Chain A
Amino acid sequence: MKKNLKWKIGLTLVVIGLCIFLIYPPKDKIKLGLDLKGGTHLLMQVITEDAVNVETDQQIARFEDVFKKNNIAYTRSAKEKPGKFYFEGTRADQEEKIRDLIDQYTRDWDYYFTGDRINFKLKQAAEQFLREQAVAQTLETIRNRVDQFGVAEPVIQKQGSDRIVVELPGIDDPERVKNLIKVTAVLEFKLVKAGPAPDEQTLLQEVGGQIPEEAEIVKGDARRGLQGYYLVNKVASITGKDLRSVRRGTDEWNNPAVSFTLTPDGARRFEQVTGQNVGKQLAIILDGKIQSAPVINSRISDSGIIQGRFTPQEADDLVVILKAGALPAGIKYLEERTVGPSLGTDSIRQGLISGLVAIFGVMVFMIFYYQLSGINAVIALLLNTLLTFGALGYFKATLTLPGIAGIILSIGMAVDANILIFERIKEELAMGKNIASSISTGFSRAFTAIFDSNLTTIISGVFLFQFGTGPIKGYAVTLICGLVANLFTAVFVSRLIFDLAVPTNAKKLSI
């Protein structure tokens, strides 16, 4: 045997072995896209404006505080829009002091004076940072929630600057998951000063016509059976951040509820508040709506329950979101797809059957037309499919319906490569050349056509991959893998098989 045949055989075997390793077991290594397997695909946008808004409110509150402590006079403060606010009615002789104070307390805000007004504007870089962080935190929180909910192999990814894609295989109750992801889940415990009252007017009359400065009005959550309005403390006694652990529990009437324990710091504050306010009501507020407002019977230190006519499912979901923490910004859904698993298994089964029939049909055709040489083409074809899947396994790519389209194109071009070579060999044979030189010329002549056509398509594939979104990307990946495999199998392996199977002095070629 010729020496260079040995290393060619070796290389081919190594490649085959590697590919088998990469796709075995196929169930774990080849991931199917949602269109084949069934599941829920959600595309959402993080409202990063919320984060800027919160930061603005915090800054206003902070400077109100700072100015008061330092005896800076002003008549009022107001927010113009997120990232922009002002203080009005300052005194000119205090300008120097104000500048010092602002410089001391913040570097993220630009400020300038117009008359008796200080204007604050959030710096571009700081705003950018806030927005990015909001997206990153939202992503993390959503991941926590989905993990807590217990979905196998979820895909949670950032897309573009402020988009998040969530793909949940096999989930057949998308509404519940959607709600679970979307709730902001800001939990606050606030002391009730007055209420409940059927409407805001009545409530105001109860407290003398005006909302006290340190209080605010919050509505009861109708779903929890709490109608009416409450006047509560603006400052929360404890918040969701003080929770140490949360779990499903029951209240004294055996209804589903959520029980919690507090961090040492939270427990200390809770103990103080409950101890000083025995007999008063404490409102448990989730996303701005009161879930329940139990009366404080005694001093409570580090644990308690949240009740409020929950269904078992609602209680479970509340546990999940409280464990995962609050979202730093709101989100809105842009796109939602749920493919029923039945449609998924259906399309897999049918796709698989039809794919097998298709490959089998092509093989029969090739052997029928090219006889023994056709077997060579069949081997190249099988190998091409193996290599394509090996590459998919290596890149951890998901196989989707458009991806199958890419495979069809690459298999078709693999067959075509063999046909080009065989037809060329036939041409050479017809011109009266001997078999060995016909094969050799056939391969070298067909090579340019195969190379150019494959490379053109690979180039288009690369661009589709670069600029395309999900499904188009899936198509491009399988196509590129298939065509690269094609250049190897059609040109290299096919030739090797001819070299091995056809003796140099052969008198007849079955083609």
Chain B
Amino acid sequence: MQIFKKTTNIDFLKFKWLALGLTIAIILAGVLNIIWGHGLKLGVDFGEGTLIRVMFKEPVSISSIRQLLDDVGLGNSVIQEAGRSGREFQIRTVETRTTGQPTEEIENHQVLANKVITSLQSTKDKQQASQGLIDLNNIDNRSLTALLTEISPEQGEQLAGRMMKYRNEQGIIVDWSELQKEPISLPEEVLGKLQTKAFLGQMTVLSKETVGPQAGKELRKKATQAVTWAIIAMLVYIAFRFKGVEYGASAIFTLAQDVLICLSIYTFTNREINLPIIAAFLTIVGYSINDTIVIFDRIRELKKTRRKEPLQNIMNLSLNINLTRTIITSGAVFIAVLALFLFGGKVINDFAFIMLVGIIEGVYSTVFMSCPVVLFWTQLFKTQKKR
């Protein structure tokens, strides 16, 4: 099978100014958006604060959650829907800026987090809890085991295990009748006794992450340091293998462009930057560098056999010969990431989204930007040397 019957003959380098313009425009838009628009949303991994994921029995609207938080003075928290059911939400409390010690600050975050959680609990739940009833949707494994062994000494432990597993899979237990069905199969009399001691709360906390200011600062510093060294190492290796600083410089330029363009587009989607997203950026950069090196490799090869031909022609030829490969490789990876995007769930979704953007952008940067940069560089430095 063949995409193109014959090797194409497109003058890619003709578009270099257009491409440069487009790149600058997108990056500029992103910068403007960061400064005046949505801003750059750093996740709890990099900033400080608390991220809480909760799940409700019934679908709830974001505005009603905001109303509840507003009542306790936390209306400015960031609330996002997670998942598709309308029952899962992610709440990010806003930074507390106190002048106190770091320890106090992390405790402040935790106080805030607890405030958020209590404010989301329904009045009925709170009443039942104050009567000494236990919330089965927020109970921990140990306490549940203790509770059930008290009711049924022989079966308690097993039942508790099955119930925990069920809740972990479902997120929340909506109705008592679920407990009687498979896989828990709670006996009638145990259920009856359990109902006198416990209730099914309207909401459950799925996860809670708190990062103190000190740790946040260090994570930022370490991540920057790691990426900087990785980039420098790549530059040195490429310059060495392709016998020219211009290739290393071009690879790094393309890389910077990849990151900036993807970041720009990402800021417009109102998603958060966390560690998995950093990994996604590294992956995008990895693919793009891979593409670029394949092209450079062909240029290196062709330069040996066609010494007379101008560099620009060799570049065009290399790009054209490799066009099929570029399209197929990116296509294959695109298919893979599309699967992650569609079926991967909330946690992977952000990650897959930026990857999809990055794959398309990576092709663009390889085809339209990597070679022109080498050309610019050579024209800028090499001609001066010759004189």
Contacts and interface: CB of A to CB of B under 8 A. Distances in A.
Interface of A: 35, 38, 43, 45, 170, 172-174, 176, 332-347, 350-351, 353-355, 357-359, 361-362, 365-366, 368-371, 401-402, 404-406, 408-409, 411-413, 415-416, 419-420, 423, 426-427, 445, 448-449, 452-453, 455-457, 459-464, 466-469, 471-472, 475, 479
B141 A172 contact: yes
B223 A354 contact: no
A448 B299 CA distance: 12
Q: Give the interface centre of B231, B289, B332 by most chain A CB atoms within 10 Å.
A: B332
Given A333-B212, A456-B238, A354 B344 contact: yes
Interface in B292-339: 293-294, 296-298, 300-301, 321-322, 324-325, 328-329, 331-333, 335-339
Q: Give the interface centre of B234, B238, B290, B325 by most chain A CB atoms within 10 Å.
A: B290
A456 B279 contact: no
Contacts of B298: 449
Contacts of B276: 401-402, 405, 471
Interface string B221-256: 011011101110110011001000000000000000
B297 A469 contact: no
Contacts of B2: 426
Interface in B235-294: 237-238, 241, 275-276, 278-280, 282-283, 286-287, 289-290, 293-294
A223 to B, nearest CB: 18
Interface string B163-178: 0000111110000000
A404 B282 CA distance: 13
B219 A469 contact: yes
Contacts of B322: 423
B293 A460 contact: no
Contacts of B332: 362, 365-366, 412, 415-416, 419
Chain A: interface secondary structure? helix
A170 B143 CA distance: 14
Contacts of A416: 290, 294, 325, 329, 332-333
Given A339-B207, A370-B1, A456-B293, A409 B340 contact: no
Contacts of B355: 408
Contacts of A355: 339-340
Given A362-B335, A456-B289, A354 B226 contact: no
A354 B325 contact: no
B325 A469 contact: no
Given A452-B238, A466-B226, 7 more contacts: A335-B215, A456-B290, A459-B230, A464-B282, A466-B229, A469-B222, A471-B279
A409 B286 contact: yes
A361 B214 contact: no
A363 B328 CA distance: 13
Contact of A357 (B103, B170, B325, B339): B339
B329 A405 contact: no
Given A340-B207, A343-B207, A365 B331 contact: yes
Contacts of B230: 459-461, 463-464, 467
20 contacts: A173-B141, A337-B208, A341-B168, A346-B171, A347-B348, A358-B335, A402-B275, A404-B348, A409-B282, A412-B329, A412-B336, A419-B332, A420-B294, A453-B289, A456-B293, A460-B234, A463-B226, A467-B225, A469-B226, A472-B226
Contact of A350 (B168, B205, B278, B343): B343
Interface string B202-221: 00111111111011000100
Contacts of A344: 168
Contacts of A357: 339, 343
B215 A334 contact: yes
Interface of B: 1-2, 45, 53, 55, 102-103, 106, 110, 140-143, 167-171, 204-212, 214-215, 219, 222-223, 225-227, 229-231, 233-234, 237-238, 241, 275-276, 278-280, 282-283, 286-287, 289-290, 293-294, 296-298, 300-301, 321-322, 324-325, 328-329, 331-333, 335-340, 342-345, 347-348, 351, 355
Contacts of B103: 332-333
A408 B53 contact: no
Chain B: interface secondary structure? helix
B232 to A, nearest CB: 8
Contacts of B171: 342, 346
B290 A338 contact: no
Contacts of A354: 339-340, 342-345, 348
Contact of B234 (A346, A448, A456): A456
Contacts of A43: 215
Given A365-B335, A456-B238, A472 B275 contact: yes
A427 B276 CA distance: 39
A200 B74 CA distance: 40
Contact of B297 (A336, A346, A350, A448): A448
Contact of A346 (B1, B325, B339, B345): B345
B142 A460 contact: no
Contacts of A350: 343-345, 347-348
B140 A402 contact: no
B351 A405 contact: yes
A445 B280 CA distance: 31
A336 B344 contact: no
A416 B106 CA distance: 46
Contacts of B280: 405
A361 B335 contact: yes
Contacts of B226: 463-464, 466-469, 472
Nearest to B329: A416
Contacts of B229: 463, 466-467
Contact of A472 (B231, B278, B325): B278
Closest 7 CB pairs of A and B: A350-B345, A402-B279, A173-B140, A358-B336, A467-B226, A449-B297, A340-B206
